[in-house]
Amino acid sequence: MRESFETIKPGDERLIWSGAVSLQHESGWVMPWRLPHKDLALFPPQPLQDCAAMPSGVRLRFATDAETLEFHTEPMPGASNLDLYAGDALLSTVAFEAGETAAQFDGLPKGMKTLELWLPTAVPFRLRAVQLPVGARLERSEDRRPKWITYGSSITHCLGAGSPSFTWPGVVARAKGLNLLSLGYGGQCHADPMLARLMRDLPADFVSVKIGINIQGHGSLNIRSFLPAVIGTLVTIREKHPDIPLVVCSPIWSPPRETAPNAAGMSLEIMRQQVAKAVDILRERGDKLLYYVDGLKLFGPEHAEFLPDLVHPDAEGYLILGRNFVREVFDRIGVQLPSETKATQH
């Protein structure tokens, strides 16, 4: 750490961890989690907990007039990168290798500005300190944008995104001015009741879920249990969020899974029918702010060149998916959100 710099501790209240569900405070470092850290035992299995340790969509937010910054961490467990924004402008992307403990950003705009550091999608991040020049100002900058929670699989986790802010939820959040909380967990989107309860209990102005691909891939639900699980997830969310837009997306295109049933008798075609049916049932009971989006409208056969493993979009594919989500949800359906958050903590 440089001697002419002031060291800000990771627990400083001027630092906001946007997009984190909880923070783990240990001696010398702070780590964001996308699950309640103290209640991890209630969220099995271990792969879900491992994914929640990866801060996809999490941003470190503050205001400063510093023109250079350093972020100091515990040794990074793998290679990745960090995106630094001032408002809507991407200032710089810094790559790091496994074992590195610092990331430096120089040439920042003069004067006070709100910065957001988008954290890695694929490796945990443990902050030890932020360093800025002695005499530079550091202030808390509240995020008053509408709060959006999105739940999904690895396709929402976006391990293959080109950079942390270019996940498909990141593309949507930046396009529509949303305060993102991404609950995308690689391989772990199975309509778990505790995840529905988590979304119910978190503040939100808008919730979306994209459900099916992990359930089909693992055979974790069948034709008897899938529809009730989807309905149960949506009804649980509605217990404390009765009057906000709730968008339900069925699986995107995956050629090997479209018509071929898995061991539980479920294909993606069947799942799309069942997800649409769940939405129809609840809309008929009066939920007019519940909307269905066909996953093929988000990413379909016309995007085959951007689906290298026939399951996950590549970096360009995630940009396409994000742009299509904006079109389908905000342009076609016409979902309306407040200009500033109205969400309250329940």
pLDDT of residue 165 exceeding 60, the answer is: yes
Sort strands 59-64 and 68-73 into parallel, antiparallel or unpaired. Answer: unpaired
CA 45 to chain centre: 20
pLDDT of residue 346 exceeding 60, the answer is: no
Tokens of 4: 């002419």
Bridge partners of residue 31, in order along the sequence: 24
User: pLDDT tens for residues 63-100?
Assistant: 999 999 999 999 999 999 999 999 999 999 999 999 99
Q: Work out the pLDDT band at 210, boundaries 50, 70, 90.
A: very high
pLDDT of residue 344 exceeding 90, the answer is: no
User: pLDDT tens for residues 35-59?
Assistant: 999 999 999 999 999 999 999 999 9
Domain ranges of the chain: 5-139, 147-332
pLDDT of residue 236 exceeding 80, the answer is: yes
Helices (H), 226-306: 226-238, 268-284, 295-298
Mean pLDDT of 305-321: 98
CATH of span 147-332? 3.40.50.1110
Burial of 116 (0-12, 13-18, 19+ CB in 10 A): buried
Tokens of 225: 């249990």
pLDDT of residue 3 exceeding 80, the answer is: no
Per the CB < 8 A criterion, the answer to whether 130 and 115 are in contact is no
Where would I find the beta strands (DSSP E) of the chain?
Answer: 5-8, 16-18, 22-26, 29-33, 59-64, 68-73, 80-86, 89-96, 102-106, 113-118, 127-133, 138-139, 147-152, 179-184, 206-210, 246-249, 290-293
Mean pLDDT of 128-136: 97
Which pLDDT value is given to residue 247? 98
What's domain 5-139's architecture?
Answer: Sandwich (2.60)
Report the distance separating Cα 342 and Cα 203, nearest Å: 9
User: pLDDT tens for residues 257-289?
Assistant: 999 999 999 999 999 999 999 999 999 999 999
- Write the DSSP string, 42-57: GS--HHHHHHHTS-TT
Report the distance separating Cα 344 and Cα 346, nearest Å: 6
Average pLDDT over all residues of the chain: 97
Mean pLDDT of 102-128: 97
